[in-house]
Structure 1
Amino acid sequence: MNIAIVGATGLVGRTFLQILDERNISIDRLYLYASKRSAGTVVTFQDQSYTVMETTTANIIDKDIDIALFSAGSTVSTTFARDFVSIGAVVIDNSSAFRMDPQVPLVVPEVNPDDVLQHQGIIANPNCSTIQSVVPLTVVQHLWDIKRVDYTTYQAVSGSGQQGIDDFDRTAEGESPQLYPYPIYNNVIPQIDRFESTNFTFEEHKMIQETQKILHKPDLAVSATCVRVPVKHAHSVSMIIELIKEPDLERLREQLHATPGIEVIDDPEQQQYPMPLFAANQDAIVVGRIRKDLYNPCLLHMFCSADNIRKGAALNAIQILEVVDKKILRK
């Protein structure tokens, strides 16, 4: 399999390489792309040296590429994704550029792997907070019909890339922020991305619309409040889920335990629950704080944490790559 990585020198790009190595993905040819600023950088992967190329049409159209992993932002994806498609590659895009395009599958492999079969050259990787939420949500949905979901997110600064980490470090030293509107150190900011006319942010709209699309429930009532918190790695999400009928919590815990990609940590007596501390640098989505509402027995509360760079971006994309390889390339 011939693989290209666009945005190879960024946080997610470097994690692509790490996970490709960890999962022993068979690679015949590897092409690394980045901005003009990073072109010429030499990257070592599996004892071989690769020179990063500038992302240009001329550097793409003469290559033999099966899959292109993108994590370089929406503008780069919009500009160059179809160049890769034109040479026969399947693009797996980590930006928001194509997620809500009805012609582009939006895929979390534990939830809707067969949606990759509908691709027309591009497959979208969902928002990091959406990914970690819909995996346990799907377990709930398989047991009982969901009427409504309300999210509150606690999103790490690495969700803004290296600039977010730099702003955390900068404001921890008492300097002024350069990325966020306020210091993030010792603070929480209830704004991620721009505000829309609804007074919801673009990030919140992404979680709402992506959840509906991935679960194939376009009329599902979903709401979200997305908050940036002073944590470097791993997002957390609080979910309040309204069901048609009262859930059986023991049955739910059993199903969550049996679901690949989920680790249940839910022992209040021992003060065991999901935290970024347990999720950072791990592949699993950690789920806990599972309980019924005190006033409405059909309301279910859950909390999850997951590494936003691994499962929330690079790992999910490479799991999509594995599904494409199995269901499409090998046929």
Structure 2
Amino acid sequence: MGYTVAIVGATGAVGTQMIKMLEESTLPIDQVRYLSSSRSAGKVLAFKEQEVTVELTTEDSFEGVDIALFSAGGSTSAKFAPYAVKAGAVVVDNTSHFRQHPDVPLVVPEVNAHALENHNGIVSCPNCSTIQMMVALEPIRQKWGLSRIIVSTYQAVSGAGQSAINETQDQLKQVLNEGINPKDVTANILPSGGDKKHYPIAFNALPQIDVFTDNDYTYEEMKMTKETKKIMEDDNIAVSATCVRIPVLSAHSESVYIETKEVAPIAAVKEAIVAFPGAVLEDDPSQQIYPQAVNAVGSRDTFVGRIRKDLDQENGIHMWVVSDNLLKGAAWNSVQIAETLHEKGLVRPTTALKFELN
């Protein structure tokens, strides 16, 4: 007998990829339900060549649902995820709302699938930039330990949603087809829709993703810091991030510097990455082979290359990490969590509701 799976935010950039990942999934599925806001309700989408009408998300939408995948924004998860749990579903939430909740496991299946054992009805999917870094670093952490991580991200505009993709394409057309100066193109979304000012992304790099916190780091940067510590179950790892948006449509790239607790030979590091599930080594400088965003689009894997010793720090290592932010960074990681819950026999009603109903 298969599951009834609901996708909340089914018409969004991540939701459409969730549908694709479910179509390719090993998860036994009897029925899918697509949920959205009133703006998209009534649309008809496909699932394995069958037509499915998108429904309005309400408090009563989750009766009979076994697994609910959420990717419609934090406020939607905050409002409706507890109702899904109350109805007996397990929620896999792709927003930031529950990531630091003490009763919610934050999971990258290749790294900490054991955290699912104690879920209370909601499982959180980490930030896209955190996920790919965890896949790249976990094989190193397992063998040599980690004491420090410094990461600079080069993030695609799809991480800010379909509207950011559209605006980027419009800006590029304004510059290339209409001859408008990049400084003067129309900008209404980036670097953060919720902030006071908006800047062009075409032919630009914006060192701001999300709004700034009181310590002058952005929320995106603090997400990477806090999520890394929670996933790796180690508050002593020093983590610092600088997150930058660049005019690439899909696939995030990261320059990662780490310091290991024990000195790690580079050849052995490469071997560990090759052996780790979900990680692909692309590292041959003599042939100019290294991870690239255009090659990562459409793949579930995380690509790692440019692995080299720091010139001054014996236990320091530099690397370059690339992954499709809409797949491994969101939709695939969410579906992978659902598959793992099934494999572990953890798709089950919770015994007590630990999340407040709005």
Question: Under a length normalisation based on structure 2, what TM-score does the superposition of the two structures give?
Answer: 0.90
With 138-147 and 310-319 compared, the bigger mean Cα shift is at 138-147
2:336 corresponding residue in structure 1:
319
Of residues 178, 182, 189 in structure 1, which corresponds to 2:188?
Answer: 178
Alignment of 1:298-317 (within 5 A): 298-317=315-334
2:5 corresponding residue in structure 1:
3
1:101 corresponding residue in structure 2:
101
How far residue 57 of structure 1 moved from its aligned partner, in angstroms, is: 0.9
- Aligned amino acid, residue 123 of structure 1: V
Alignment of 1:162-177 (within 5 A): 162-174=162-174, 175-177=185-187
With 197-206 and 268-277 compared, the bigger mean Cα shift is at 268-277
2:132 corresponding residue in structure 1:
132
Quick one: percent identity of the two aligned structures?
A: 45
Query: Deviation digits for residues 111-154 of structure 1, max 9, x if unmatched?
Result: 00010111111000000000000112111111112111001000
How far residue 24 of structure 1 moved from its aligned partner, in angstroms, is: 4.2
Maintained 8 Å contact 1:212/1:220 = yes
What SS does structure 2 have at the residue aligned with 1:297? Answer: coil
Maintained 8 Å contact 2:26/2:339 = no
Once residues 158 and 273 of structure 1 are traced to their aligned partners in structure 2, the CA distance between those partners, rounded to angstroms, is 22
What SS does structure 1 have at the residue aligned with 2:79? Answer: helix
Maintained 8 Å contact 2:266/2:308 = yes
What SS does structure 1 have at the residue aligned with 2:226? Answer: helix
1:44 corresponding residue in structure 2:
46
How far residue 173 of structure 1 moved from its aligned partner, in angstroms, is: 2.5
1:281 corresponding residue in structure 2:
298
1:27 corresponding residue in structure 2:
29
2:177 corresponding residue in structure 1:
none
- Aligned amino acid, residue 188 of structure 2: Q
What SS does structure 2 have at the residue aligned with 1:173? Answer: helix
What SS does structure 2 have at the residue aligned with 1:272? Answer: coil
How far residue 6 of structure 1 moved from its aligned partner, in angstroms, is: 0.2
Once residues 51 and 204 of structure 2 are traced to their aligned partners in structure 1, the CA distance between those partners, rounded to angstroms, is 42
Greater RCO structure (CA 8 Å; 6+ sep): 2
- Aligned amino acid, residue 78 of structure 2: T
What residue ranges of structure 2 are gaps of 5+ in the alignment?
Answer: 175-184, 191-197, 349-358
1:206 aligns with 2:208: no
How far residue 330 of structure 1 moved from its aligned partner, in angstroms, is: 7.0
Equivalent pairs counted in the alignment come to: 329
1:220 aligns with 2:248: no
How far residue 243 of structure 1 moved from its aligned partner, in angstroms, is: 1.5
Maintained 8 Å contact 1:106/1:126 = yes
Once residues 123 and 112 of structure 1 are traced to their aligned partners in structure 2, the CA distance between those partners, rounded to angstroms, is 12
1:84 aligns with 2:94: no
Query: Deviation digits for residues 24-66 of structure 1, max 9, x if unmatched?
Result: 4321121110000100011111121111111111333xx2011
How far residue 329 of structure 1 moved from its aligned partner, in angstroms, is: 4.2
Maintained 8 Å contact 2:152/2:256 = yes
- Aligned amino acid, residue 8 of structure 2: V
Maintained 8 Å contact 2:25/2:335 = no
Alignment of 1:256-267 (within 5 A): 256-267=273-284
2:19 corresponding residue in structure 1:
17
Maintained 8 Å contact 2:157/2:245 = yes
Once residues 40 and 110 of structure 2 are traced to their aligned partners in structure 1, the CA distance between those partners, rounded to angstroms, is 34
Maintained 8 Å contact 1:43/1:51 = yes
2:285 corresponding residue in structure 1:
268
Once residues 313 and 47 of structure 1 are traced to their aligned partners in structure 2, the CA distance between those partners, rounded to angstroms, is 23
Maintained 8 Å contact 1:157/1:164 = yes
Maintained 8 Å contact 1:117/1:328 = no
- Aligned amino acid, residue 35 of structure 2: Y
Once residues 259 and 74 of structure 2 are traced to their aligned partners in structure 1, the CA distance between those partners, rounded to angstroms, is 34
What SS does structure 2 have at the residue aligned with 1:257? Answer: helix
Query: Deviation digits for residues 148-196 of structure 1, max 9, x if unmatched?
Result: 1001000000001101101211211233111012110100000000000
How far residue 245 of structure 1 moved from its aligned partner, in angstroms, is: 2.5
Question: Under a length normalisation based on structure 1, what TM-score does the superposition of the two structures give?
Answer: 0.97
Maintained 8 Å contact 1:170/1:177 = no
Once residues 58 and 214 of structure 1 are traced to their aligned partners in structure 2, the CA distance between those partners, rounded to angstroms, is 32
How far residue 244 of structure 1 moved from its aligned partner, in angstroms, is: 2.1
1:116 aligns with 2:155: no
Query: Deviation digits for residues 173-232 of structure 1, max 9, x if unmatched?
Result: 233111012110100000000000000000000000000000001221100000000100
2:272 corresponding residue in structure 1:
255
Maintained 8 Å contact 1:187/1:230 = yes
Once residues 13 and 343 of structure 2 are traced to their aligned partners in structure 1, the CA distance between those partners, rounded to angstroms, is 27
2:254 corresponding residue in structure 1:
237
